[in-house]
Amino acid sequence: MSEGTDTQGWLVGARRVPSPNFDRRPADCDPDLLVIHCIALPPGRFGGPWIDALFQNRLPPTADPFFAGIAGLRVSAHLLIRRDGELVQYVPLHLRAWHAGASSFQGRSDCNDFSIGIELEGDLETPFAAAQYARLLEVTREIRRRHPRITRERIVGHEHIAPGRKRDPGPLFDWRRYLDHL
């Protein structure tokens, strides 16, 4: 990835797959939280077009039995890092992606308003790939350059802002490996 973002909030070098699932952040609400997630569609399987399809509201409910229950969801993330390190962007960083759902951080609810969401292609049972950590570090540095209020203490997992409801990125995400190299 080349370093930087363009004037429209897209990271240089990311594959752009625009999602319709976004809106504007509240006035005077700049991102100051980074939320790490994981996703595999269908569960336990990596690769394929299904994450892009989900975030673009094109997930065919009959393509896999799991899809029938989620095909109607209207969700997105700003970014996805695939197993091989490929970076995909769905929503410009200055806009609000729909990734956190019912959530709270330090007493402040609706984390989508003030966060950037990064999905890692993965699940709760498979270690994340070295290429993903490398790309995540690169992307985090760029995001923090652009949004300096995102400190190490303001980088969390979905599990931290929606405890009891979400478990990602899960026990196999190596927080120390990630945070120690920022």
Please state, in angstroms and rounded to a whole number, the distance separating the CA atoms of residues 26 and 95: 10
Q: How many CA atoms lie within 13 A of 180 on its CB side?
A: 4
60 within 8 A of 71, measured Cβ to Cβ = yes
Q: Is 119 a catalytic residue?
A: yes
Catalytic residue among 3, 86, 119, 142: 119
Q: For residue 46, with 0-12 CB atoms within 10 Å meaning exposed, 13-18 middle and 19 or more buried, which class applies?
A: middle
Please state, in angstroms and rounded to a whole number, the distance separating the CA atoms of residues 70 and 72: 5
Q: Which residues are catalytic?
A: 119
